[in-house]
Amino acid sequence: MLALYNTLIVLFTVVMMEIVATLAHKYIMHGWGWGWHHSHHTPRTGWFELNDLYAVVFAALAIALIAFGTAGYWPLQWIGAGMTLYGALYFMVHDGLVHQRWPFRYVPRRGYFKRLYLAHRLHHAVRGKEGCVSFGFLYTPPVAALQATLRARKALNARGKGAARDAADAAQASRRES
């Protein structure tokens, strides 16, 4: 029975890590942690990027949990194991499939992996840290919804620039009249 509990803890942790990673990606990596994550949104030169430090931080936390758990603090080792499994899945899907950091290339043509691939490509379609879509790694909203969101933001941004341009023109005309 304990083996069942431990397995459920590992699986539950994988699901929770997707939620934690999505929130961390949106509010930390695209927020105050942009200094590390910025390297992930620019062309990579070499094997590593500064963004990889996030994986090191999560790995260190998983190692610490496994160490405390094996020292007698159940179920921490199973939470750490779930984090490790999530990290392996992340490495395979995000780094391997989406960003092709492996020595072979594979672009999925259909199904779940194509959806992940396209959603993450849409995430990188926006320059900078603002206005991105799809912050998840193993789950993404439907691609059509992400495309609609990007189109709506682009249209809103274009209208905003137009309104700002109109206001600047009006201000300049007012200054000329004075």
The predicted-structure confidence for 59-77, as pLDDT tens digits, reads as follows 999 999 999 999 999 999 9
Cα 144 from Cα 72, distance rounded (Å): 48
**Is the pLDDT assigned to residue 178 strictly greater than 60?**
no
- pLDDT of 37-58, one tens digit each? 999 999 988 889 999 999 999 9
Do the Cβ atoms of 9 and 75 come closer than 8 Å? yes
Dump pLDDT digits (tens) for 117-133. Answer: 999 999 999 989 999 99
Using CA atoms, how far residue 163 sits from 14, 156, 159, 170, 174, in Å, is 46, 10, 6, 10, 16
